């Protein structure tokens, strides 16, 4: 018997900047979290009407959010 595991994805970051979501996605992937950015090929990408989001599996949500917050704090300290 094969057991099917149902996974759900959650948004952990959103921005009108595709570049920002790509940076966050790359950071999470480098930390071993399966992450993907949405709207990167959207014709209106980069405009406030087309927000790009970073999505991870629910089981990685807490870790992803912690990494994003840590990175944001580090960025604010150096700004």
pLDDT over 50 at 19, yes or no: yes
Report domain extents, the chain. 9-78
Per residue in 3-28, is it b (16+ CB within 10 Å) or e — as a string?
eeeeeeeeebbbbbebeebebbbebb
For residue 38, pLDDT beyond 70: yes
Computed over every residue of the chain, the mean pLDDT equals: 84
Tokens of 26: 């790359």
- Residue 23 confidence (pLDDT) above 50: yes
Q: What is the CATH number of domain 9-78?
A: 3.30.70
The predicted pLDDT at position 35 comes to: 97
Model-level pTM? 0.78
Q: Find out whether 7 and 58 touch, Cβ atoms under 8 Å.
A: yes
């Amino acid at each position: 018997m094969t057991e099917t595991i149902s996974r759900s994805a959650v948004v952990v970051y959103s921005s009108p900047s595709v570049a920002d979501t790509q940076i966050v996605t790359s950071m999470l992937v480098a930390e071993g979290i399966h992450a993907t950015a949405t709207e990167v090929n959207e014709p209106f990408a980069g405009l406030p009407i087309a927000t790009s989001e970073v999505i991870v599996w629910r089981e990685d949500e807490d870790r992803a959010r912690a990494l994003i917050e840590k990175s944001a704090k580090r960025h604010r300290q150096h700004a």
